Amino acid sequence: MRLAAAFAAAVLAAGCLTAQPPLEPRYFTPVVPRASPPDPTHGGDLLRVRRVRAAAYLRDRMVWRNGVEIGFYDLLRWTESPARFAQAALEDELFDRRGFVRTSSVNAASLKSSLEAFDELLAPAHEAAVALDVVLTNAKGETLIDRTFEARKPISGGDPKDVADALGAALAEVVGQVGTAAAEAAGSHAF
């Protein structure tokens, strides 16, 4: 009996002492697909897009949410901050697709935004959720848009790549909604 216990202890010790390479973080970049071809109907409308802010918890680690609980994956990271992904997608939508003209003038319409969600939802459905608070003011400082744009997309599998793909699709939908609302505001001549 003692011999069997000693043998088991030796096997366990050998297994625990075997050098294992440390786990390495994996990095992801969501691909934001273009929903439709460019529609530069607002050429000449000046627009100043301020830097996208993000909720404090949205940093470099991928986030999961289960009801009111928020957690972070230790080894799943973004290549850039989610705010930077939102900034790039928003600028592509407004300037490249919608035909607004980029300016830094304080005498132009201004768009401020804050990324409030860039999360993997675990329940009740496995989805990617993106929420962007947007305030658009005209050159006179009058508020034209003040609302939250949101989108959810199903996550097709359990791989982190599936999460990144779904978040990219949700971000594309959100910036498309912002682009449509900004184009409507510009068309109202209150811009």
- CATH no. for residue 9? 3.40.50.10610
Predicted TM-score of the model (pTM)? 0.86
Does residue 113 come out as left (phi exceeding 0), alpha (psi in the -120 to 50 range) or beta? Answer: beta
CB 99 within 8 A of CB 39: yes
What is the residue range of 46's domain?
2-187
The CA distance from 60 to 148, in Å, is: 23
The predicted pLDDT at position 21 comes to 79
Task: Report the pLDDT value the prediction gives residue 175, as an integer from 0 to 100.
Answer: 97
What is the total count of domains within the chain? 1
The pair phi, psi for residue 146, each rounded to 5°, is -150, 90
Asked if 151 contacts 130 with a C-beta cutoff of 8 angstroms, the reply is: yes
Task: Walk along the chain (191 residues) and give the pLDDT tens digit of each residue.
Answer: 565 555 555 555 555 556 777 889 999 999 998 756 666 665 679 999 999 999 999 999 999 999 999 999 999 999 999 999 999 999 999 999 999 999 999 999 999 999 999 999 999 999 999 999 999 999 999 999 999 999 999 999 999 999 999 999 999 999 999 999 999 999 886 77
Interatomic CA distance for residues 153 and 49, integer angstroms: 26
